[in-house]
């Protein structure tokens, strides 16, 4: 992603396929790219950068759902907000046509209770409050604000689009690693070329039932290879 800065103005250029209307900016479909780069500290405190690992992922949002998926759409995750503000979580194994359902009680015992605002905007509200507002700019037609600062030993630089309540760019530097997440594409949900996989007809299982299903072909395969649990890392 390219930056043009000057006189308190930065411009983020991105591949914006379709203009987002102002009527409903909640329902969006995005493509993000996350690049990870290890930093090795050498003698004399100089830093050497190692090979970058870049991956694209999809993000779909409505008022009551947030879904993400890897670029291959083989694995995704979905959070569902209930009328009473409880959050349900599903691990979507698209390649196996299988869904693992997590009830709010499961998320509670796992210590993974979801902050809906954070999930739907990809950042905890508290993070921006801890950073310093630096300059205003543009991300395509949207006003954007750059925030910067250090939290818990990690240096953050966030380009935030208030109108969409989404970041255009998040750069995290710390723990011998730089992680850069950039918004590459954004569409109204009803006009997106990137449709989420339909999972309603998949085989499903409650997380609490894994113990009874040790021989379930998908469960046993998952446990051997990728593991079962609450995965989200973004």
Partner 1 sequence: MKHNTKIAACAMALTAAISLPAMAVDESNESWYTQGEQATKQAMKNARKAAKISKRKAKNIILFVGDGMGVSTVTAARIYDGQLKGKTGEENRLFFETLPYQAMAKTYNTNQQTPDSAGTMTAMMTGMKSKAGFISAGQSLTRADCSDMSGNILTTALEHAETIGMSTGIVSTARLTHATPASTYAHVPERNFEDDRDASKFSDKILGCKDIASQLIDMKNRYGNGLEVALGGGRKNFIQRIDGADPENGGKGEREDGRDLTAEWLASNPNSAYVWNQAGFDAVNTSLTDHLLGLFNMSHMEYEEDRAEDTGGEPSLSEMTGKAIEVLEKNEKGFFLHVESGRIDHAHHAGNAQRALMDTVEFANAVQKAYEMTDPEETLIIVTADHSHVFTIAGYPTRGNPILGKVVGNDNEGNPNDAPQLAKDDMPYTTLGYTNGLGFADLAVGGDTRYGEPNAAGVRTDLTAVDTEGQGFHQEAMVPLGSETHAAEDVAIYASGPGSSMFQGTVEQNVIFHVMNKAGRLSKRSGLPAVK
Question: Where on the chain is the footprint of partner 1 (CB under 8 A)?
Answer: 64, 80, 82-84, 86, 88, 103-106, 108-111, 201, 203, 206-214, 219-220, 223-224, 227-230
Beta carbons of 68 and 232 less than 8 angstroms apart: yes
* Rounded distance between C-alpha atoms, residue 228 and residue 40, angstroms: 32
Minimum CB distance to partner 1, residue 199 (Å): 12
CB of 66 to partner 1, least distance (A): 15
- Residue whose CB is less far from partner 1, 102 or 187: 102
The residues pairing with 188 across neighbouring beta strands, listed in sequence order, are 28
- Closer CB to partner 1, 38 or 86, in the complex: 86
Tell me the C-alpha distance between 227 and 162, whole Å: 36
Nearer to partner 1 by Cβ, of 95 and 203: the residue is 203
CB of 203 to partner 1, least distance (A): 5
Cβ atoms of 135 and 8 closer than 8 Å: yes
Minimum gap (Å) between residue 208 Cβ and partner 1? 5
Tokens 């959050």 belong to: 87
For the chain, the 3-state helix, strand and coil shares in percent, each to the nearest 5, are 20, 50, 35
Nearer to partner 1 by Cβ, of 104 and 149: the residue is: 104
Whether residue 10 contacts residue 143, with contact meaning beta carbons closer than 8 Å, is answered with: no
């Amino acid at each position: 992603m390219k930056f043009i800065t000057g006189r308190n103005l930065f411009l983020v250029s991105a591949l914006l396929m379709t203009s987002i209307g102002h009527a409903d900016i909640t329902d969006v479909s995005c493509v993000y790219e996350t690049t990870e780069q290890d930093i090795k500290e050498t003698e004399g405190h100089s830093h050497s950068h190692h090979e970058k690992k870049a991956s694209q992922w999809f993000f779909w949002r409505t008022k009551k759902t947030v879904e993400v998926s890897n670029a291959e759409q083989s694995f995704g995750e979905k959070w569902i907000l209930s009328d009473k503000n409880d959050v349900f979580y599903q691990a979507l194994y698209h390649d196996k046509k299988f869904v693992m359902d997590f009830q709010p009680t499961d998320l509670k015992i796992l210590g993974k209770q979801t902050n809906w605002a954070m999930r739907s905007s990809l950042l905890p509200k508290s993070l921006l409050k801890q950073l310093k507002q630096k300059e205003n700019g543009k991300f395509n037609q949207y006003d954007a604000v750059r925030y910067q600062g250090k939290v818990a030993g990690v240096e953050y630089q966030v380009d935030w689009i208030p109108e969409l309540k989404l970041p255009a760019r998040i750069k995290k530097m710390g723990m011998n690693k730089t992680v850069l997440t950039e918004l590459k594409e954004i569409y109204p949900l009803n006009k997106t070329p990137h449709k989420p996989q339909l999972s309603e007809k998949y085989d499903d299982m409650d997380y609490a039932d894994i113990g009874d299903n040790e021989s379930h072909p998908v469960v046993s395969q998952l446990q051997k290879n990728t593991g079962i649990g609450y995965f989200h890392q973004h």
